[in-house]
Amino acid sequence: MKNLKRVSFLIMLMTFVISCAGIKDKNTISGKVESIENGKDGYTAKINTDKNEVYYAVISIVNVGGPQNYKRFKEGDAVSLKGEIWKTDTEKHMTVREIVSVK
């Protein structure tokens, strides 16, 4: 009985670790900036990914950790972003926590 509990716990732990690894990949997007809409303390960039998905990425000084991490995008920039992804009925959004690269 003890061995059964240990094996069950090990299986649950491995499942949790594997599922967390999958979540990290889903929190990164890369693509081209199609448009920019200015807001109060930042802006929203419409990003078209390589898989032809559209995300609305909210970039603000507070969310990226201060002015030293904040960058202003231009239309046509190739960007890679990390953050929290959330969806509405028809749109995908990201609250950007890290700007990985801008080209």
Mean pLDDT, to the nearest integer, of 26-43? 93
Work out the widest C-alpha separation in the chain, in whole angstroms: 62
| CA 17, chain centre distance (Å) | 19
Domain positions in the chain: 28-102
- Whole-number pLDDT of residue 3: 78
- Whole-number pLDDT of residue 44: 97
Mean pLDDT (the chain, rounded): 88
Q: What is the DSSP string of 42-93?
A: EEEEEEEETTS-EEEEEEETTTTTSTTT-----TT-EEEEEEEEEE-SS-EE
- Whole-number pLDDT of residue 71: 96
CATH 2.40.50.140: does it fit domain 28-102? yes
* Tokens of residue 76, six digits: 């046509």
CB 76 within 8 A of CB 32: yes
Q: Coil, strand, or helix at residue 41?
A: coil
Give the global pTM. Answer: 0.74
